[in-house]
Amino acid sequence: MKTPLPNRLPAQLEQRGGKSKRQRIWEIIRARQHDISAADLAKDSKVDSATIISYLRALEKGGYLHAHSPASRNGTGKRYRLMRDNGVEAPRLNKSGQPVSQGSGNETLWRTMRILGQFNSRELIQHAASAGIHIADDSANIYLRTLYRAGYLQLLEASRPLGVGKGKTLNRYRLLPGKYSGPRPPMIQRSKCVYDPNLARVVWQEDIRHDDD
């Protein structure tokens, strides 16, 4: 059992860019520290109560929150206090409170691009593998190609054939220095557009093909 956090006013940490519902909930939890209830969160965050309740459950199971007073018969829900601080980032948990790693592939690619400056997809995959993070060739290639089309990357060396049956070299890219928008990796969305969470906007959209083009 961990002891509650010390009684002090936390420095205000607010995430830059676009915020998920869970992020909005988390920031309010962090600011309040004690005596947190689903009803208060709903009022302050404007997030729907189903999301709030499922996130509170996950946080409790994950040991981030402790319910200090149980739900009572007169209709007031559980009240929680923050037990484990995670900093500004909302803990990414599944329903049973276990950390989820989904999305860590792109985060690793994005961080590695930023540190290396120049790279091809194989180098990025190898660097990720050395940290125990496995990324498929296709995912890396698609991510790079999309970032290139969205204007984040510059093509330094285009892929060239190596001879019959020898395959070809890989495209070599550079992350444009002004394009590092922040630590969160730009996301490719299902609708074939790129959303940059650091900037909180869609930065690129595939041209719409008309039938008569």
Structural contact between residues 164 and 208, judged by C-beta atoms closer than 8 angstroms: no
Identify which of 76, 52, 77, 56 has the alpha carbon closest to the alpha carbon of residue 66.
56
Does residue 108 belong to the site contacting other proteins (CB under 8 A)? yes
Nearer residue to other proteins within complex by CB, 42 or 89: 89
Q: Tell me which of 88, 193, 202, 203 binds other proteins, using CB under 8 A.
A: 88
Structural contact between residues 38 and 58, judged by C-beta atoms closer than 8 angstroms: no
Residue 111, both tokens: 């961080």
Contacts of 68 by beta carbon, 8 Å cutoff, 6+ apart: 79, 80, 81
Number of residues that bind other proteins (CB under 8 A): 44
Q: Tell me which of 71, 100, 129, 156 binds other proteins, using CB under 8 A.
A: 129
Q: Which stretch binds other proteins (CB under 8 A): 36-44, 56-64, 133-141, 143-151?
A: 133-141
Nearest distance in Å: CB 164, other proteins: 10
Nearest distance in Å: CB 61, other proteins: 20
CB atoms within 10 A of CB 103: 12
Nearer residue to other proteins within complex by CB, 114 or 174: 114
Q: How many CA atoms lie within 13 A of 68 on its CB side?
A: 13
Task: Give the N- to C-terminal CA distance of the chain in Å, as an integer.
Answer: 65
Does residue 131 belong to the site contacting other proteins (CB under 8 A)? yes
Does residue 166 belong to the site contacting other proteins (CB under 8 A)? yes
- Per-residue H/E/C for 62-91: CCCEEEEECCCCCCCCCEEEECCCCCCCCC
Q: Which positions from 6 through 65 interact with other proteins, judged by CB under 8 A?
A: 10-17
Nearest distance in Å: CB 85, other proteins: 4
Q: Which positions from 171 through 190 interact with other proteins, judged by CB under 8 A?
A: 182-184
Residue 165 exposed, middle or buried by CB count within 10 Å (0-12, 13-18, 19+): exposed
Nearest distance in Å: CB 162, other proteins: 5
Structural contact between residues 158 and 169, judged by C-beta atoms closer than 8 angstroms: no
Q: Tell me which of 115, 178, 208, 211 binds other proteins, using CB under 8 A.
A: 115
Residues that bind other proteins in the complex, under the rule CB under 8 A = 10-17, 85-89, 107-108, 111-112, 114-116, 122-123, 125-134, 136-137, 162-163, 166-168, 170, 182-184, 198
